[in-house]
């Protein structure tokens, strides 16, 4: 059993166990015991091999050995031995029960428990392939909501997790500290935009937004300006699903209009202009400019997703917007928060999207790819101006936030390993070649009558339709049938693949998008 545990922890799933039996063991043999413990696994038993000094020829000639070996081959070829059929039946029952529990008792993201959507059951994932329980392998075009930048089952991250588990998975961060947290803080500050110096580690992206908002409000309260208590932002933004974060998401098209009455009333400017050609055109800053000029007395901070508005529509805009915003925030005494949860760690072709504009925010929120997609972790990283400001002139006021799992050592160790792996590898050229390939393969789709726009930046490729697909479920199933995992939303079919994706795998994603457009949406007449 020990060796079985160690095989499982290395990701081997058992379909067959071959045992060598001692002569005359019968009822109490190893094989019988193992079969009892693993009723689902075919167990094949063969006689014990002779001592090293004896030739194997006699042993090989034994009928039991020949029978055992041919049984092994049949199982390996997928032919189920006759007496194992009942086990297959049992496996199917387990599968049906599993999906029923899911359907009846488990909420999935943004779904109804009354009419849940279809789900596909995953057995494992490796590299850029997600293996379903039915044996199909899907090329992953989502990086699990933009997190799994190194792909899945990454030896370096597995090792970091295993090593940390051997030390401690968690200890409270109140009054205690540990190497994983200090190592991660140092790494983050070494690569973060200039001027960010203090790290608040927390549970997730949304919580890092809560912390950033709280820092901004507390900052002005301690400056004796409690009337600066609103947050300004742009429409089409997405910052998470907790209440503070919801208050700065797009108020009209966003996912949270139901809660309007319960949310803090924030200030919204028009969204930045869509643009991937940054040499020309209006960046759309004037709306934010007039909003801030008019209302800066009430504004504690501006929060914005730099260069790419993600879940609000995959909108790419000109970094000149951020330069103007930084300048105006300084002039009017307003803090600036960049939500880099989606864009951080190389996704847009720079380590952080702020680098496109060469400006630093006062607070930066990160999450998603921080642990390479292994587990949840977020951080709000502040400048000294902010971190000192929140504690008032005498430095006595604590920052009133402290989640139970703050600084979780397991998550910190994995995050540190993930950042190291990213920085040690050729992430920049990988993202560049993904960008070039997405431009080559997705741009031609702009010719389809139903396609509004195709845009690419770094490892982000977006096909925006003129209208949302009537049956998103069917679209999803068609993509799975094409052997890829994509999760279209609203009017967009988009990909944000792991950076380690091969060009063949990426072509399968582009090809699948083209083929669902062919199948579901007629091409323009010309």
Ligand X SMILES: *Cc1c(COP(=O)(O)O)cnc(C)c1O
Q: Where are the beta strands (DSSP E) in 72-176?
A: 122-126, 129-132, 137-140
**Cβ-contact 129, 137 below 8 angstroms:** yes
Specify the stretch interacting with ligand X by CB under 6 A; choose among 8-16, 303-311, 463-471, 513-521: 303-311
238 is known as an active-site residue: yes
Q: What is the largest CA-CA distance in the chain?
A: 95
**Cβ-contact 171, 409 below 8 angstroms:** yes
| Contact characters 33-72, ligand X, x per CB under 6 A | ----------------------------------------
Name the minimum Å distance from CB 329 to ligand X: 19
225 is known as an active-site residue: no
Angle at CA 144, nearest 5°, toward 370 and 434?
Answer: 85
Question: Residue 199 is inside which H or E element, if any?
Answer: strand 196-202
Name the minimum Å distance from CB 491 to ligand X: 18
Is 342 a binding residue for ligand X by CB under 6 A? The answer is: yes
Question: Residue 492 is inside which H or E element, if any?
Answer: strand 492-495
Is 372 a binding residue for ligand X by CB under 6 A? The answer is: no
Is 144 a binding residue for ligand X by CB under 6 A? The answer is: no
- Residue 57 CA to residue 413 CA, distance in Å, equals 52
Specify the stretch interacting with ligand X by CB under 6 A; choose among 113-121, 265-273, 335-343, 417-425: 335-343
DSSP per-residue string spanning 362-429: SEEEE-GGGGTTSS--EEEEEEHHHHHHTT-TTS-PPP----TTTT-HHHHHHHHHHHHHHHHTTHHH
Count other Cβ atoms within 10 Å, centred on residue 252: 9
Specify the stretch interacting with ligand X by CB under 6 A; choose among 183-191, 305-313, 420-428, 431-439: 305-313
Name the minimum Å distance from CB 238 to ligand X: 5
Specify the stretch interacting with ligand X by CB under 6 A; choose among 28-36, 46-54, 236-244, 348-356: 236-244
Is 305 a binding residue for ligand X by CB under 6 A? The answer is: yes
Q: Which of 63, 110, 394, 424 is catalytic?
A: 110
Record the tokens describing residue 11, joined without a space: 């990701």
Identify the three-state secondary structure at position 19: strand
| Contact characters 191-220, ligand X, x per CB under 6 A | -------------xxx--x-----------
Residue from the set 239, 315, 324, 356 that interacts with ligand X by CB under 6 A: 239
Is 367 a binding residue for ligand X by CB under 6 A? The answer is: yes
Is 311 a binding residue for ligand X by CB under 6 A? The answer is: yes
Rank residues 44 and 311 by Cβ distance to ligand X and give the closer one: 311
Edge-to-edge strands, sheet with 451-457: 451-457, 460-465, 492-495
110 is known as an active-site residue: yes
Q: Which of 152, 238, 321, 374 is catalytic?
A: 238
**Cβ-contact 316, 274 below 8 angstroms:** yes
Is 140 a binding residue for ligand X by CB under 6 A? The answer is: no
Is 322 a binding residue for ligand X by CB under 6 A? The answer is: no
Rank residues 342 and 479 by Cβ distance to ligand X and give the closer one: 342
How many residues belong to the site for ligand X (CB under 6 A)? 15
Alpha-carbon distance values, 505 to 258, 316, 420, 484, 498 (Å) = 40, 25, 25, 9, 11
Is 250 a binding residue for ligand X by CB under 6 A? The answer is: no
Is 240 a binding residue for ligand X by CB under 6 A? The answer is: yes
Residue from the set 248, 292, 304, 341 that interacts with ligand X by CB under 6 A: 341
Record the tokens describing residue 509, joined without a space: 């994603």
| CA end-to-end distance (rounded Å), the chain | 66
Rank residues 180 and 205 by Cβ distance to ligand X and give the closer one: 205
Q: Which of 368, 374, 448, 494 is catalytic?
A: 368
- The residues that are catalytic are 110, 238, 339, 368
Residues found near ligand X in the complex (CB under 6 A): 204-206, 209, 238-240, 305, 310-311, 339, 341-342, 367-368
């Amino acid at each position: 059993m020990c060796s079985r545990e160690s095989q499982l922890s290395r990701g081997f799933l058992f379909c067959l166990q071959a045992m060598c039996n001692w002569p005359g063991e019968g009822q109490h043999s190893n094989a019988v015991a193992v079969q009892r413990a693993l009723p689902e696994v075919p167990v094949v038993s063969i006689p014990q091999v002779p001592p090293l000094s004896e030739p194997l020829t006699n042993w090989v000639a034994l009928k039991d050995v020949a029978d055992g070996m041919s049984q092994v081959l049949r199982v390996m070829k997928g032919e189920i031995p006759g007496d194992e059929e009942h086990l297959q039946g049992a496996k199917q029952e387990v599968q049906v029960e599993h999906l029923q529990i899911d359907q009846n008792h488990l909420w999935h993201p943004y779904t109804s428990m009354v009419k849940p959507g279809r789900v596909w059951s995953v057995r494992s994932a490796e590299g850029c392939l997600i293996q379903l329980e039915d044996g199909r392998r899907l090329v992953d075009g989502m990086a699990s909501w933009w997190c799994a930048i190194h792909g899945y089952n990454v030896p370096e991250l597995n090792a970091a997790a295993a090593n940390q588990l051997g030390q401690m998975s968690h200890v409270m961060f109140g009054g205690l500290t540990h190497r994983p947290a200090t190592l991660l803080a140092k790494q983050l500050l070494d690569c973060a935009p200039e001027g960010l110096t203090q790290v608040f580690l927390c549970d997730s992206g949304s919580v890092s937004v809560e912390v950033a908002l709280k820092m901004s409000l507390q900052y002005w309260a301690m400056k004796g300006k409690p009337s600066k208590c609103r947050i300004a932002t742009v429409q089409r933004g997405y910052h998470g699903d907790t209440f503070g974060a919801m208050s700065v998401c797009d108020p009209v098209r966003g996912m949270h209009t139901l809660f309007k009455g319960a949310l803090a009333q924030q200030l919204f400017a028009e969204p930045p202009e869509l643009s991937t050609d940054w040499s020309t055109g209006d960046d759309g800053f004037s709306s934010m400019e007039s909003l801030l000029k008019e209302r800066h007395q009430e504004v504690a901070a501006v929060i914005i997703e730099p260069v790419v508005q993600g879940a609000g529509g995959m909108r790419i805009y000109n970094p000149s917007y951020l330069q103007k915003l930084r300048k105006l925030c300084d002039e009017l005494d307003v803090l600036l928060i960049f939500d880099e949860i989606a864009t951080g760690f190389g996704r847009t072709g720079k380590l952080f999207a702020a680098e496109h504009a060469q400006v630093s925010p006062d607070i930066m929120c990160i999450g998603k790819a921080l642990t390479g997609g292994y587990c949840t972790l977020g951080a709000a990283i502040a400048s000294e101006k902010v971190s000192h400001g929140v504690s008032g002139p005498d430095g006595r006021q604590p920052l009133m936030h402290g989640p139970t799992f703050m600084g979780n050592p397991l998550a910190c160790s994995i995050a540190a390993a993930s950042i190291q792996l990213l920085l040690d590898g050729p992430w920049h050229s990988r993202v560049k070649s993904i960008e070039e390939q997405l431009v080559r393969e997705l741009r031609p789709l702009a010719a389809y009558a139903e396609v509004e726009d195709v845009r690419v930046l770094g490892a982000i490729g977006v096909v925006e339709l003129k209208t949302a697909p009537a049956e998103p479920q069917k679209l999803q199933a068609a993509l799975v049938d094409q052997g890829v995992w994509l999760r279209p939303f609203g009017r967009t079919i988009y990909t944000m693949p792991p950076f380690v994706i091969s060009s063949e795998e990426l072509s399968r994603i582009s090809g699948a998008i083209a083929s669902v457009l062919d199948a579901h949406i007629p091409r323009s007449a010309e």
